[in-house]
């Protein structure tokens, strides 16, 4: 009996030691493979067109977070949690899309939805290039085929190690980009880095960035179009405040040059004073913070529509009137640009946890 106990104890100790070794090895792997892309990284411009942007002409732009093709109505995300108004606490379930077919349906649907608008500029966020969560489907190639007659560029915003969480269905490795398209000749494209948290959460957040694209104008100035995606999982909004400081410094510099600037994207803030505007059976999530034009440097304003929400909560599957919804997507515009119209496309979150935001404008 004593020998049996001793052998059992040795086996248990060996198993514990093996588990600790595996955990330590994985922690080392994640730490050693973590690397941020340097700031001010020049990006390749592909399929560059010959058209030029002119003053006094009306143009259109759309921004759309396509949610890496996973978010049909049944999808809820494992990193999100919230609370129903009846007091029930809820947490998302899924770490990856339900199937390859779901990803293809959502990305092709998103491409078709945007194609209908025949926009002059298109800004997309969360476009997976090679990710476990989206079955390694190259979504950039799908959008390239849909917008084959447009100039394009992309900046990597997520290049993670293999994340073994949740243990029962790991999120895996992700390679994700901000993808941008236009009908005009692009002079340059530059990837700018946003600040991130310095604690362990940095390993699970996107490598937040914004992509700066420049177009020459007849008056010697430039139209500067920016594709941006700010942090979401940021308790207290501290990192997002730091990111706004970086963006504001960039905007101030462009204003000194007299350039025309449009920043489009997913700001992960309520930028349309839309909290409580749309029917919901959930309380406002703690990650929803507000931004207004007062938070921007002089000479710029937020431009966002209130006709429909652009983001839904993902702690539960989607049901209209049940999920919390808000406007997180839209534009920042310099005061030398006249905004003609801003409209959110109410697609009822069929292909993503976001709806597209659109704007028509004229360079004065």
Residue range 228-250: mean pLDDT, rounded: 86
Q: What is the pLDDT of residue 31?
A: 52
Give the pLDDT confidence of 255-278 residue by residue, as tens digits: 999 999 999 999 999 999 999 999
Contact 110, 351 (CB under 8 A): yes
Contact 215, 184 (CB under 8 A): yes
**Sign, CA torsion 328/330/335/339:** negative
Percent with pLDDT over 90 in the chain: 77
Residue range 225-246: mean pLDDT, rounded: 85
**Sign, CA torsion 101/138/136/310:** negative
For tokens 């799908």, the residue is: 142
Q: What is the pLDDT of residue 64?
A: 98
3-state helix, strand, coil in the chain (%, to 5): 25, 30, 45
Helix (H) or strand (E) holding 106: helix 100-115
CA distance linking residue 179 with residue 120, whole number of Å = 14
Plot region of 9 (φ>0 → left; ψ -120 to 50 → alpha; else → beta)? alpha
Is the model more confident about 4 or about 349?
Answer: 349
Closest C-alpha among 220, 244, 225 to residue 183: 225
For tokens 């207290």, the residue is: 236
Measured at the CA of 205, the angle between CA 172 and CA 152, to 5 degrees, comes to 85
Contacts of 324 (CB under 8 A, 6+ apart): 82, 280, 282, 283, 284, 285, 288, 312, 313
Is the model more confident about 23 or about 168?
Answer: 168
Residue range 86-103: mean pLDDT, rounded: 96
Q: What is the pLDDT of residue 200?
A: 57
Contacts of 222 (CB under 8 A, 6+ apart): 187, 214, 215, 216, 257, 259, 260
Contact 360, 324 (CB under 8 A): no
| Residue 172, beta-bridge partner list | 163
Find the range with the poorest average confidence among 101-105, 157-161, 184-188: 157-161
């Amino acid at each position: 009996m004593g020998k049996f106990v001793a052998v059992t104890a040795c086996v248990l100790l060996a198993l514990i030691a093996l588990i600790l070794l595996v955990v330590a090895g994985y922690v080392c792997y994640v730490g050693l493979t973590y690397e941020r892309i340097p700031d001010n990284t020049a990006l390749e411009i592909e399929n560059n067109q010959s058209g030029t942007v002119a003053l006094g002409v009306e143009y259109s732009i759309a921004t759309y977070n396509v949610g890496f093709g996973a978010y049909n109505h049944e999808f809820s995300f494992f990193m999100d949690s919230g609370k129903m108004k009846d007091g029930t606490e809820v947490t998302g379930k899924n770490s990856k899309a339900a199937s390859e077919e779901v990803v293809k349906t959502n990305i092709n649907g998103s491409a078709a939805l945007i194609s209908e608008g025949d926009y002059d500029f298109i800004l997309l966020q969360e476009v997976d290039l090679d990710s476990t969560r989206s079955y390694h489907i190259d979504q950039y190639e799908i959008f390239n085929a849909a917008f084959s007659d447009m100039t394009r560029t992309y900046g990597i915003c997520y290049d993670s190690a293999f994340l073994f969480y949740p243990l029962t269905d790991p999120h895996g490795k992700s390679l994700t980009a901000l993808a941008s398209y236009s009908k005009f000749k692009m002079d340059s494209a530059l990837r700018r880095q946003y600040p991130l948290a310095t604690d362990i959460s940095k390993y699970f957040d996107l490598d937040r960035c914004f992509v700066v694209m420049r177009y020459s104008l007849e008056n010697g100035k430039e139209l500067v179009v920016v594709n941006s995606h700010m942090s979401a999982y940021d308790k207290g909004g501290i990192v997002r405040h730091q990111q706004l400081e970086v963006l504001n410094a960039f905007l101030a510099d462009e204003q000194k040059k007299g350039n025309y600037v449009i920043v489009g994207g997913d700001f992960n803030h309520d930028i349309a004073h839309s909290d409580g505007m749309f029917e919901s059976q959930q309380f406002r999530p703690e990650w929803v913070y507000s931004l207004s034009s007062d938070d921007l440097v002089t000479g710029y304003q937020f431009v966002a529509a209130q006709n429909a929400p652009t983001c839904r909560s993902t702690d539960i599957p989607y049901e209209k009137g049940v999920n919390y919804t808000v406007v997180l997507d839209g534009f920042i515009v310099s005061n030398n640009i006249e905004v003609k119209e801003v409209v959110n496309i109410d697609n009822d979150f069929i292909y993503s946890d976001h709806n597209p935001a659109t704007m028509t404008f004229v360079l004065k």
